[in-house]
């Protein structure tokens, strides 16, 4: 494995794959915080050059985190199809990039070779791609999933209704939910983040969303984004959950910090299959985001793009209905400004899709980050072009509970009109029945939440 | 990523109390939220007046008022095509401007004096550095460590800390309500409190460094959250049983969203006391806490 590159009359020598992977990243404040980023632009390019000549076998043969010591590595390693890997093991990362971008490489081919990939190979190729490369390659990949309805079809842009309330008031939550539905949002999930992470609270919210689904015959699925243990307690107490939710990290230590491990996820998986109310087969909702491993001091010197890709390798095991990267939530110490957030959003969407995940993105930022709503407009358009399965819908993009800004009900409706995208088919039929949508466009009634009172 | 407030496994007792309070809060909310909204500077200062409906011909006029009063979320806002109306869009931008500015504020010295809180610094140096280098906000300066050793009771049963975190406004806006009710609650449970103080430029994990120095049984850190648009003054209470270097996130218990439009500050103080007492009884915290 050659770890040397000559560039501008200087020889750059890297000590191992971990260093090459980190330094080949586009600039991220999180990699700088971890002390593993490229020193300057030239060193970054030297790392990219070295990486482009490595083979997929080189990457697999030099694990960044050994499967013997890390269960996320084990999950990723065990999922590799050896026959397919044998076909592509001698490709360089450069050749892999060109393969993905070639016109004759279609969704079917990518889906097949994806079974021979590890998360590290996926991260490696993302590091050699431009933003437009990431958009184009991702746009080829169609990942459809089914919980109570199907989403992810080409030409469909779904939305999560995220009607959070700062005191978990059921009445207040329903008010924001009615507003969402009246704009045609809620086909991905009616998903609420509770303030109080307790079984009682989870149960009350699941009951409330289920009530609305039953009353108005809404073809969608519900979920409450509490800790998995809390959801399991609520389900045991009879709460109606179509899906279960959990945040994931890309290392075993990171997951320990989240209070989870593979064994617990397996238990929850078993439970939602036996005791959940969703049709399936896809019954999970996962969230991820670059930087969470470093935040938990569980990154093992590995860069945040690679760790994010490993989250997807873990997520894949549970065949989720939806996955999203909460890309700008973590703060400026990991993604400093709008340029870094936009890059990370495109990387995450691409890396997830290449691992056959139903990727959504929470296009978002916090108030201590150098970004604003205009930057979110930009990223949302890019992701819609890349074929993102869903984005988040919050009233006027302002989440009054989590204290950050995402995308709005208006934004999803606008992207659908602008990019000729539609809600999930079953949901669109329902919107037509309710008089909210006609031929893919909102009717004059849309935007009036009292139609659900 | 972990954006859930990991207040995992709050006890049935606490839950039962909340269950009693939540419906009450909900029934009051029709009037009280609107009143509270009037006192929010983000509404007053920007001069946008109270929340009102823009929907031209709602199916149910009174119903719409009820919905709007039930949440601080921006609903009933209507649209121009699929885009927001101009005034709503500008109001949003004004609130964002206020939130960005609140990251750079400082806690009032007279408030700290009022509660007899002395100040120690972390290695944050300045706000920009604080934002980029959270590791700096987790370590108290050598000078601060000395001051803690000189002024504080060692090995207290309960250690109380206050920090500006990402919003000095959150401390200015809520400490006067939370702090006395917390002390009352601890007193009622017969718990002994050590010497409280203020940490300037603190991150949540500064609890571990201070835990190493003072070795408390339980520690609570009242800290400013990153500001949102509705609430640039939201505070969190992070609690931990025997915090030490190496404590992981899931060992901490949090009550977040403490502000007049969220978890009411007075009630929060009492809840924190109950949670701390439970931690002492069970000798654990975070996801392991089971009450």
- Determine whether A70 is exposed, middle or buried from the number of CB atoms within 10 Å of its CB (0-12, 13-18, 19+): buried
CA separation for the pair A35, A302 (Å, rounded): 10
Q: If pLDDT is split at 50, 70 and 90, which confidence band does B8 have?
A: very low
Residue A370: pLDDT above 60? yes
* Residues of chain B neighbouring A195 (CB-CB closer than 8 A): 5, 7, 256-257, 262-263
* Residues of chain B neighbouring A289 (CB-CB closer than 8 A): 1
Decide if A152 contacts A389 (C-beta within 8 A).
yes
Helices B265-282 and B12-39 sit at what angle, rounded to 10 degrees? Answer: 160
Q: What is the mean pLDDT of residues A194-219?
A: 96
DSSP A243-258: SEEEE--SSHHHHHHT
Strand A4-7 vs strand A404-405: parallel, antiparallel, or unpaired? unpaired
Backbone phi and psi for residue A148, each to the nearest 5 degrees, phi listed first:
-95, -30
* Residues of chain B neighbouring A372 (CB-CB closer than 8 A): 96
> Which of A197, A287, A375 to mutate to test binding with chain B, by most B CBs within 10 Å of its CB?
A197
- Hey, are the CB atoms on B55 and A450 less than 8 Å from each other? yes
- Hey, are the CB atoms on A195 and B262 less than 8 Å from each other? yes
> Which of A35, A368, A411, A420 to mutate to test binding with chain B, by most B CBs within 10 Å of its CB?
A368
**pLDDT for position B102:** 77
In angstroms, how far is the first alpha carbon of chain A from the final one?
A: 65
Decide if A244 contacts A286 (C-beta within 8 A).
no
**pLDDT for position B50:** 66
| Minimal C-alpha gap between A149 and chain B (Å) | 25
**pLDDT for position B3:** 53
Dihedral angle of Cα A338, A344, A346, A352, to the nearest 10 degrees = -150
Which residues, at least 6 apart from A297, have a Cβ–Cβ distance to it below 8 Å?
A257
| Minimal C-alpha gap between B111 and chain A (Å) | 25
Report the phi/psi class of residue B258: left, alpha or beta, with left for phi > 0 and alpha for psi in -120 to 50: beta
User: Can you give the pTM of this predicted structure?
Assistant: 0.85
* Residues of chain B neighbouring A399 (CB-CB closer than 8 A): 228
Instruction: Give B125-134's long-range contacts (Cβ < 8 A, gap of 24+).
Output: B125/B201, B127/B103, B130/B201, B131/A331, B131/A332, B131/A333, B131/A368, B131/B103, B132/A29, B132/A33, B132/A332, B132/A333, B132/A336, B133/A33, B133/A333, B134/A33, B134/A295, B134/A333, B134/B203
Q: What is the mean pLDDT of residues B236-244?
A: 97
- What's the CATH fold of domain A145-452? TIM Barrel (3.20.20)
Residue B20: pLDDT above 60? no
| Minimal C-alpha gap between B153 and chain A (Å) | 30
DSSP H or E run through A190 = strand A189-192
- Residue A281: cis peptide before it, omega within 30 degrees of 0: yes
CA separation for the pair A124, A97 (Å, rounded): 9
Query: Who among B8, B72, B286 is closest to A166 (CB)?
Result: B72
Q: What is the mean pLDDT of residues A212-220?
A: 98
CA separation for the pair A185, A177 (Å, rounded): 9
Average pLDDT, chain A: 97
Residue B6: pLDDT above 50? no
Helices A41-53 and A93-101 sit at what angle, rounded to 10 degrees? Answer: 80
Q: If pLDDT is split at 50, 70 and 90, which confidence band does B290 have?
A: confident
Q: If pLDDT is split at 50, 70 and 90, which confidence band does B226 have?
A: confident
Decide if A290 contacts A305 (C-beta within 8 A).
yes
Query: Who among A29, A197, A450 is closest to B132 (CB)?
Result: A29
| Minimal C-alpha gap between A333 and chain B (Å) | 4
Q: If pLDDT is split at 50, 70 and 90, which confidence band does A345 have?
A: very high
- Hey, are the CB atoms on A169 and B248 less than 8 Å from each other? no
- Hey, are the CB atoms on B231 and A400 less than 8 Å from each other? yes
ipTM, two decimals: 0.95
Which residues, at least 6 apart from A368, have a Cβ–Cβ distance to it below 8 Å?
A331, A332, B100, B103, B131, B166, B226, B227
CA separation for the pair A389, A369 (Å, rounded): 26
- What 3-state class would DSSP assign to B143? helix
Which residues, at least 6 apart from A214, have a Cβ–Cβ distance to it below 8 Å?
none
Least confident of A4-18, A65-79, A179-193, B3-17: B3-17
Query: Who among A169, A179, A331 is closest to B26 (CB)?
Result: A169
- Hey, are the CB atoms on B7 and A198 less than 8 Å from each other? yes
Residue B2: pLDDT above 60? no
* Residues of chain B neighbouring A201 (CB-CB closer than 8 A): 15, 18
**pLDDT for position A403:** 85
Strand A284-288 vs strand A322-325: parallel, antiparallel, or unpaired? parallel
What chain B residue is nearest to A451 in terms of C-alpha separation?
Answer: B59
Nearest to B185 by CA among B226, B239, B224: B239
| Eight-class DSSP state of A444 | T
| Minimal C-alpha gap between A140 and chain B (Å) | 26
* Residues of chain A neighbouring B249 (CB-CB closer than 8 A): 257-259, 296
Q: If pLDDT is split at 50, 70 and 90, which confidence band does B41 have?
A: very low
**pLDDT for position B49:** 63
* Residues of chain B neighbouring A287 (CB-CB closer than 8 A): 1, 3
CB pairs under 8 A between A and B: 252
pLDDT digit string (tens) for B83-127? 999 999 999 999 998 888 778 889 999 999 999 999 999 999 998
CA separation for the pair B123, B201 (Å, rounded): 8
CATH of the domain spanning A11-139: 1.10.220.70
| Minimal C-alpha gap between A9 and chain B (Å) | 34
In angstroms, how far is the first alpha carbon of chain B from the final one?
A: 27
CA separation for the pair A290, A334 (Å, rounded): 7
- What is the radius of gyration, based on Cα positions, of chain A? 21
Q: If pLDDT is split at 50, 70 and 90, which confidence band does B262 have?
A: confident
- E strands, chain B, in order: 118-121, 158-163, 197-200, 218-224, 235-241, 252-258
Decide if A267 contacts A227 (C-beta within 8 A).
no
- Hey, are the CB atoms on B63 and A453 less than 8 Å from each other? yes
Q: What is the mean pLDDT of residues B216-223?
A: 98
- Hey, are the CB atoms on B70 and A171 less than 8 Å from each other? yes
**pLDDT for position B12:** 39
CA separation for the pair A445, A431 (Å, rounded): 11
Q: What is the mean pLDDT of residues A429-453?
A: 98
CA separation for the pair B173, B231 (Å, rounded): 11
- Hey, are the CB atoms on A400 and B26 less than 8 Å from each other? no
Query: Who among B78, B79, B133 is closest to A333 (CB)?
Result: B133
Domain borders along chain B are: 106-288
CA separation for the pair B161, A334 (Å, rounded): 27
DSSP B26-82: HHHHHHHHHHHHHH-HHHHTTT--S-----SS-S-HHHHHHHHHT-SS--S---BTT
| Eight-class DSSP state of A267 | H
> Which of A167, A204, A231 to mutate to test binding with chain B, by most B CBs within 10 Å of its CB?
A167
**pLDDT for position B17:** 41
Nearest to A30 by CA among A295, A287, A224: A295
| Minimal C-alpha gap between A88 and chain B (Å) | 32
DSSP H or E run through B20 = helix B12-39
Decide if A329 contacts A404 (C-beta within 8 A).
yes
Residue B19: pLDDT above 60? no
- Hey, are the CB atoms on B226 and A372 less than 8 Å from each other? no
| Minimal C-alpha gap between A131 and chain B (Å) | 23
CA separation for the pair A124, B122 (Å, rounded): 38
Residue B21: pLDDT above 70? no
Residue B9: pLDDT above 80? no
> Which of A401, A413, A421, A444 to mutate to test binding with chain B, by most B CBs within 10 Å of its CB?
A401
DSSP H or E run through A222 = strand A222-224
* Residues of chain B neighbouring A325 (CB-CB closer than 8 A): 1
Instruction: Kindly report the number of other CB atoms within 10 A of residue A236's CB atom.
Output: 12
DSSP H or E run through A305 = helix A304-316
- What's the CATH fold of domain B106-288? Rossmann fold (3.40.50)
**pLDDT for position B121:** 97
Residue B31: pLDDT above 80? no
What chain A residue is nearest to B262 in terms of C-alpha separation?
Answer: A166
| Minimal C-alpha gap between B256 and chain A (Å) | 7
Instruction: Kindly report the number of other CB atoms within 10 A of residue B139's CB atom.
Output: 19
Domain borders along chain A are: 11-139, 145-452
Q: If pLDDT is split at 50, 70 and 90, which confidence band does B60 have?
A: very high
What chain A residue is nearest to B246 in terms of C-alpha separation?
Answer: A297
Show the tokens assigned to A216.
Answer: 């108005």
* Residues of chain A neighbouring B124 (CB-CB closer than 8 A): none
* Residues of chain B neighbouring A199 (CB-CB closer than 8 A): 15
**pLDDT for position B69:** 95
* Residues of chain B neighbouring A438 (CB-CB closer than 8 A): none
* Residues of chain B neighbouring A329 (CB-CB closer than 8 A): 1, 3
pLDDT digit string (tens) for B126-159? 988 898 888 899 999 999 999 999 999 999 999 9
Q: What is the mean pLDDT of residues B42-59?
A: 70
């Amino acid at each position: 494995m050659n770890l040397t590159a000559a560039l501008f009359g200087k020889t750059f020598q890297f000590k191992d794959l971990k260093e090459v992977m980190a330094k080949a990243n586009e600039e991220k404040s999180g990699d700088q915080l971890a002390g593993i980023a490229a020193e300057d632009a030239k060193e970054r390019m030297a790392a990219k050059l070295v990486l482009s000549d490595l083979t997929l076998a080189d990457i697999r043969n030099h694990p960044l985190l050994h499967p013997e010591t890390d269960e996320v590595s084990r999950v990723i390693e065990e999922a590799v199809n050896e026959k397919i890997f044998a076909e592509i093991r001698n490709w360089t990362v450069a050749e892999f990039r060109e393969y993905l971008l070639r016109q004759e490489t279609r969704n079917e081919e990518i889906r097949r070779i994806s079974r021979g990939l590890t998360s590290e190979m996926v991260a490696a190729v993302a590091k050699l791609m431009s933003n437009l490369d990431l958009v184009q390659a991702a746009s080829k990949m169609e990942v459809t999933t089914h919980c109570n309805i199907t989403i992810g079809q080409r030409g469909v842009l779904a939305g999560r209704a995220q009607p959070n309330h700062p005191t978990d008031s059921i009445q207040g939550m329903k008010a924001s939910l009615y507003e969402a539905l009246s704009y045609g949002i809620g086909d991905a999930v009616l998903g609420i983040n509770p303030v109080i992470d307790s079984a009682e609270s989870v149960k009350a919210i699941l009951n409330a969303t289920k009530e609305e689904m039953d009353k108005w015959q809404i073809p969608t699925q519900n979920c409450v984004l509490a800790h998995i243990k809390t959801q399991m307690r609520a389900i045991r107490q009879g709460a109606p959950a179509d899906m279960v939710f959990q945040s994931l990290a890309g290392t075993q230590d990171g997951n320990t910090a989240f209070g989870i491990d593979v064994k617990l996820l397996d238990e929850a998986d078993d439970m939602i299959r036996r005791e959940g109310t969703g049709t399936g087969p896809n019954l999970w909702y996962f969230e991820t985001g670059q930087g969470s491993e470093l935040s938990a001091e569980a990154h093992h010197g590995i860069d945040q793009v690679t760790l994010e890709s490993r989250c997807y390798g873990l997520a894949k095991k549970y065949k989720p209905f939806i996955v999203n990267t909460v890309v700008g939530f973590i703060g400026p110490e990991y993604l400093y400004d709008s340029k870094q957030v936009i890059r990370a959003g495109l990387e995450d969407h691409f890396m997830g899709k290449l691992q056959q995940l139903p990727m959504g993105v929470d296009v978002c930022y916090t108030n201590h980050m150098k970004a604003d709503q205009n930057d979110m407009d930009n990223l949302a358009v890019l992701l819609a072009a890349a074929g993102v399965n869903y984005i988040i819908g919050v009233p006027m993009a302002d989440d009054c509970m989590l204290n950050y800004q995402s995308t709005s009900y208006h934004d999803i409706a606008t992207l659908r009109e602008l990019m000729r995208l539609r809600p999930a088919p079953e949901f669109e039929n329902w919107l037509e029945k309710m008089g909210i949508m006609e031929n893919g466009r909102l009717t004059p009634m849309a935007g009036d939440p009292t139609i659900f009172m | 990523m972990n954006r859930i407030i990991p207040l995992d496994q709050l006890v049935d007792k606490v839950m039962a109390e909340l269950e009693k309070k939540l419906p009450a809060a909900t029934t009051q909310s029709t009037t009280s939220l609107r009143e509270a909204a009037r006192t929010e500077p983000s509404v007053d200062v920007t001069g946008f007046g109270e929340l009102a409906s823009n929907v031209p011909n709602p199916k149910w006029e009174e119903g719409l008022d009820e919905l709007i009063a039930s949440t601080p979320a921006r609903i009933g806002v209507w649209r121009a095509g699929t885009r927001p109306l101009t005034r709503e869009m500008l109001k949003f931008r004004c609130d964002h401007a206020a939130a960005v500015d609140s990251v750079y504020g400082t806690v009032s010295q007279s408030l700290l004096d009022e509660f007899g809180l002395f100040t120690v610094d972390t290695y944050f140096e300045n706000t920009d550095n604080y934002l980029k280098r959270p590791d700096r906000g987790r370590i108290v300066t050598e000078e601060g460590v000395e001051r803690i050793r000189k002024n504080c009771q060692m090995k207290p049963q309960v250690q109380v800390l206050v920090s500006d975190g990402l919003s000095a406004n959150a401390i200015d806006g809520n400490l006067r309500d939370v702090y006395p009710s917390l002390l009352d609650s601890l007193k009622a449970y017969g718990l002994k409190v050590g010497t409280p103080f203020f940490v300037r430029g603190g991150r949540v994990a500064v609890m571990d460094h201070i835990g190493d120095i003072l070795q408390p049984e339980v520690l609570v850190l009242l800290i400013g959250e990153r500001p949102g648009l509705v609430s640039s003054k939201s505070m969190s209470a992070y609690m931990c049983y025997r915090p030490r270097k190496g404590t992981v996130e899931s060992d901490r218990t949090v009550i977040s969203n403490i502000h007049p439009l969220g978890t009411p500050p007075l009630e929060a103080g009492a809840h924190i006391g109950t949670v701390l007492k439970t931690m002492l009884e069970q000798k654990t915290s975070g996801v392991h806490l089971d009450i």
